[in-house]
Structure 1
Amino acid sequence: MRPVVQETYGPADLSGEAIFAGGFINFGYWRAIDLDAPLTEAERIRSQEDLYRHVLGSVGPLAGVRVLEVGCGLGMGCALALRECEPAAVTGMDIHPQQLRRAHSAHAGLLRRQPGRLRFVQGAAERMPLPDGEFGAVVSVEAAQHFPDLAAFAAETARVLRPGGRVAVASFFTVDDAPGRPGQLAGLLKTYANGLDIARPVTALTEAFTAAGLTGVRAEPIGQHVWPGWDLWLGRQWATGTWPRNFLRAYEQRILDYYLITAGRR
């Protein structure tokens, strides 16, 4: 585990921060939310849930399917998948042991009431401690920007998917591979300057999926439904000109965008 990841998600519970209401840690998908009206915590939670719904819906019907979430954090997305998609079982995998302890605590009742349908395991995206072909769907929500080796993640995803299985990844990437992009982002955003987020073009993941043998690889930009709502929500806590508000600026300057990347195994 990279030290900056260990520090960010370890001692303090990032999911407890007000900007990540409800225990999720994502920027949200705000398409169904009226951004001209005052935002409430309920709408913030809905934006995060809707991001999961958008990702889960992109891998097709999940009834009776075994689902893996890579980078599950507190496991709120795993619980949503169980509640709304009727999968056979959901596995939440995270590299951080403290996050997994929090996930077990947050979902102790669900783990007890539905044994075998939800589990949490520790593992890296590049080295998944899981059998070949175990899952019909692999999803990852706002975690791939931390993965140090996208090629290894893609190869492991292809390995754990069963034939006919699908993968969906939601994360933010640079819009192209222009050499100056990492420096631009480091100058705008603290998370790129300290190395928590890694500046790579979206093609780094799409090409990795193709090289791993996955087919139908597609990257859909969804930033218009992410960045404006996220920035409005940040405005409750962060003033204009502070570094978190520069996510929207990077999007408007066509440096960074948010993508849904999907693919399948033959």
Structure 2
Amino acid sequence: MADENDASVPAMRPAVQEVYGPGDLAGAPMFAGGFINFGYWRNIDLDGPVGEEERIRSQEDLYRHVLDTARLPPRPDLLEVGCGLGRGCALVLEEYAPATVTGMDIHPEQLRRAREARAGLLREEPDRLRFVRGAAERMPLEDGGFDVVLSVEAAQHFPDLGAFAAETARVLRPGGRVALAGFFTVDDAPGRPGELAGLLESFADGLDIARPVSALTDAFTAAGLTGVRVESIGPQVWRGWDRWIGRWWAPGTWPRNFLHAYERGILDYYAVTADRAG
């Protein structure tokens, strides 16, 4: 099992190292409640006041939506890839009655923060919750150890989707399912990376990687996973995110360009599932 100092964990790209380490993205007010995601705003009135309560609910609802697509079996063993501060792991424990939850992240600072933030749960549920260090492309976990692999808004950082898909297939039990949410380009047009780099600083500086959603679905298929399904949830994500960050960022500033990229048909937000055959 990899720990914070395990040299077998692949090196992080510099932007990931900075943003989730010294930069502490989770500490930014726009990511309230211990989550780091854009939120799923379907059940929130965006024409009314949008405060921290609504923002936290949007982030919880993104997890709930992805977990619902996972069709959890009774008392599953669940792995979250890119767990961040572990707030999603806590939500799973609180609402979905799993047997165990493993939160995995590549960044040692994120794991330190997760263990501090979830110290109470770790004491109360020592046999049901654990955090481990590992990369999406090289998971320090046993074959066939999980009923569900969950990943929420982390895949845009994974350097090798093929390796992630192969590792996902390896750690899933027969009959298991992967459920993922994240943002991807809508197609593989050659100019997409340049367009996004021109609009969004996170693509220009290498934090996010511009790839079509088909790169993920093809990787799942190549890894032997079946029943791959893609759902666009951009309508439930981008408008709410833009409404929320408008309190800090003026129109025309780069964070507001996520909605612009979506409206231009360049970028979308997807929920993706695939199964390991039983």
Query: What's the TM-score, normalizing by structure 2?
Result: 0.95
1:1-266 equivalent positions in 2, closer than 5 A: 1-266=12-277
Quote the Cα distance in structure 2 between the aligned partners of 1:62 and 1:112: 26
C-alpha contact 2:72 2:148 (8 A) present in aligned 1: no
Specify the SS of the correspondent of 1:18: coil
Bigger mean CA deviation after superposition, 9-18 or 99-108: 9-18
The more displaced of 53-62 and 240-249 is 53-62
Paired residue type of 2:210:
A
Cα distance in 1 for residues equivalent to 2:172 and 2:233 = 25
- After the TM superposition, list the runs of 4 or more consecutive aligned residues in structure 1 that deviate by more than 4 angstroms: none
Q: Distance in 1 between matches of 2:103 and 2:162?
A: 21
CA distance in 1, matches of 2:27, 2:129: 22
CA RMSD of aligned residues (A): 0.6
Question: Is this contact kept in 2: 1:62–1:85, CA < 8 A?
Answer: no
CA distance in 1, matches of 2:93, 2:177: 18
What secondary structure sits across from 1:126 in the alignment?
coil
Counterparts of 1:148 and 1:114 in 2: how far apart (Å)? 33
Alignment identity in percent? 74
Amino acid at match of 2:161: L
| Long gaps (5+) in structure 1 | none
SS class of match (1:48): helix
> Are 2:200 and 2:254, in contact at CA under 8 Å, matched by a contact in 1?
yes
Q: Deviations over 1:36-58 (max 9, x none)?
A: 10101000000000000001111
Residue type of the partner of 2:142? P
- Aligned partner of 1:70: which letter? V
Inter-partner Cα distance in structure 1 for 2:183 and 2:134: 22
d(CA) in 2 for partners of 1:147, 1:247: 19
Consecutive unaligned residues of structure 2, counting only runs of 5 or more, are 1-11
The answer to whether the 8 A contact 1:72-1:78 is kept is yes
CA contact (8 A) 2:35 2:59 kept: yes
Mapped to 1, the partners of 2:150 and 2:124 lie a distance apart of 24
Query: Deviations for 1:88-132, whole angstroms, at most 9, x for unmatched residues?
Result: 000000000000000000000110011110000000000000000
User: Which residue identity is paired with 2:242?
Assistant: D
> Partners of 2:166 and 2:221 in 1: how far apart?
10
Contact 2:105/2:133 (8 A) holds in 1: yes
Change (3 A) 1:49 1:62: farther
What CA deviation, in whole Å up to 9, does each residue of 1:123-146 have, x standing for no partner?
A: 000000000000000010000000
Residue identity matched to 1:34: D
**AA aligned opposite 1:184:** E
